[in-house]
Amino acid sequence: MALSVTFGTSPIPPRGGVGLKPEHYRDILDGAPDIGWFEIHAENYMGAGGPPHAYLTAIRECYPISLHGVGLSIGGAGPLDAGHLSRLRAIADRYQPALFSEHLAWSSHDTVYLNDLLPLPYTQDTLDRVCDHIDEVQNAMARRMLLENPSTYIAYAETTVREVDFLREIVRRTGCGLLLDVNNVFVQAANHGFGAADYLDDFPMEHVAEIHLGGHAEDADEDGSLLLIDDHGRAVADPVWTLYQRVLARTGPVPTLIEWDNDVPAWSALFAEAKRADGLIAACSTSAAPELMAVT
Amino acid sequence: MTPDAIKREGAFAKAVLDADARVPAALVGRDGRRPMRRFTVYRNNVYAWLVNALAGQFPAMLKLVGE
């Protein structure tokens, strides 16, 4: 198919961005808001044409975008889906995203697709397989990927490697970068009973090229223990903003995405969240002694 | 890939799709406690997606049978 538009490389600025939702297409095109960038879920643009591509093309003409995959199953036990990978590459060729990310999770088994980000045990065996998959992805996409830390509700008895060490070793072996989801750290800390600040203090911030912030829901398990659910269905919680500031103090300005995928709010509410991130990024760039240069 | 990993993943997938299935023994909750409620979060996510997908494909049927 001949493309009528080609995009240059538009770097993602170290500012707040938001996940692009169809509910906001018109607000963005009509209002031309002063926002740094948008992130798209790759799987929403795997159809050949229609309104999603028409709107995305118009938005891409005015803003940089980041490509975020949710269905590649990098943590899966079986081989990657070559068809899915080639569709992902086609989207990257079409829209020239400045960042590309996927998850440390699995979402399909054999031919069954489960549409959720499912956890894996952290062992030498799974480490080898995840690294092989990331090598394959980076070769197929002809670009570096960022790997996102997960939010999980259960753990595996067989796990022998700490998650932070698992991620650090993946980066060392594959050369990928990291997408740090601060809400996921908060959710996991509550669900598994560790300190979120301790986890973040141990996190290899020098490899973080993007940050995610999202909302979570509170629930309880059968023992009455707090169970946090990463539902992306509300505003970012205050303790997560506090942890985010702790991260920025080490990283300096980093592109930061607000994720709000369920009970999608009016554009103004989502935009305000991105502006809140902008304010904290601006504050950290004048006061912090960051460990790394701003990633752009 | 190893046969053990395939088997472990298959057991997880089966338990997610079958509401009557037991939680795989390989999984633990906080402090080693039973993770039934925690595992149900995954089950609910997958079921909600399947229900939404059906509702989107068959809107007339949804009107007839309700949610």
- Band of the pLDDT at A76, cuts 50, 70, 90? very high
Q: Which chain B residues are Cβ-neighbours of A129 within 8 angstroms?
A: 1, 5
Q: For residue A210, what are the β-bridge partners?
A: A179
CB contact under 8 A, A121 and B8: yes
Q: Are A47 and A19 in contact (CB under 8 A)?
A: no
Q: Which residue is listed with tokens 């018109």?
A: A26
* CATH number attached to the domain at A16-287: 3.20.20.150
- Band of the pLDDT at A294, cuts 50, 70, 90? very low
pLDDT of residue A153 exceeding 50, the answer is yes
CB contact under 8 A, A156 and B12: no
The parent domain of residue B38 ranges over 3-65
Helices and strands in chain A, H and E counts: 9, 13
**Predicted TM-score (pTM) of this structure:** 0.93
ipTM entry: 0.88
User: pLDDT digit string (tens) for A50-72?
Assistant: 899 999 999 999 999 999 999 99
d(CA B45, CA A124) in angstroms, rounded, equals: 29
CA of A65: how far to CAs of A7, A56, A257, A295, in Å? 11, 10, 11, 15
From the list A293, A279, A278, A272, the residue with the least C-alpha distance to A36 is A278
Instruction: State the Rg of chain B over Cα.
Output: 16
- Band of the pLDDT at A292, cuts 50, 70, 90? low
d(CA A101, CA A97) in angstroms, rounded, equals: 10
Count of domains for chain B: 1
d(CA A128, CA B2) in angstroms, rounded, equals: 11
Q: Which chain A residues are Cβ-neighbours of B27 within 8 angstroms?
A: 154-157
Q: Which residues have CB under 8 Å from A198's CB, separation 6+? A: none
Once rounded to an integer, what is the mean pLDDT over residues A257-280? 97
The whole-chain average pLDDT of chain A stands at: 94
CB contact under 8 A, B28 and A154: yes
User: pLDDT digit string (tens) for B18-43?
Assistant: 989 999 999 998 877 788 899 999 99
Query: Using CB atoms, which residue from B8, B37, B45 is nearest to A227?
Result: B37
CA of A121: how far to CAs of A71, A191, A196, A197, A277, in Å? 19, 16, 20, 23, 33
Give how far the C-alpha of residue B63 lies from the chain's centroid of Cα atoms, to the nearest Å: 26
The amino acid at residue B51 is: V
Report the b/e string of A220-230 with b at 16+ CB within 10 A.
ebeeebebbbb
The amino acid at residue A211 is: I
- End-to-end Cα, chain B, rounded Å: 41
CB contact under 8 A, B27 and A225: no
**What pLDDT does A195 receive?**
97
Q: Which chain B residues are Cβ-neighbours of A230 within 8 angstroms?
A: none
**Ranges of each domain in chain A:** 16-287
Q: Are A227 and A220 in contact (CB under 8 A)?
A: yes
**Residue A9 tokens, joined:** 């490389």
From the list A186, A82, A204, A189, the residue with the least C-alpha distance to A147 is A204
Q: Which chain B residues are Cβ-neighbours of A219 within 8 angstroms?
A: 41
Q: Which residue is listed with tokens 């989207």?
A: A91
Q: For residue A227, what are the β-bridge partners?
A: A219
Q: Which residue of A has its CA nearest to B24?
A: A156
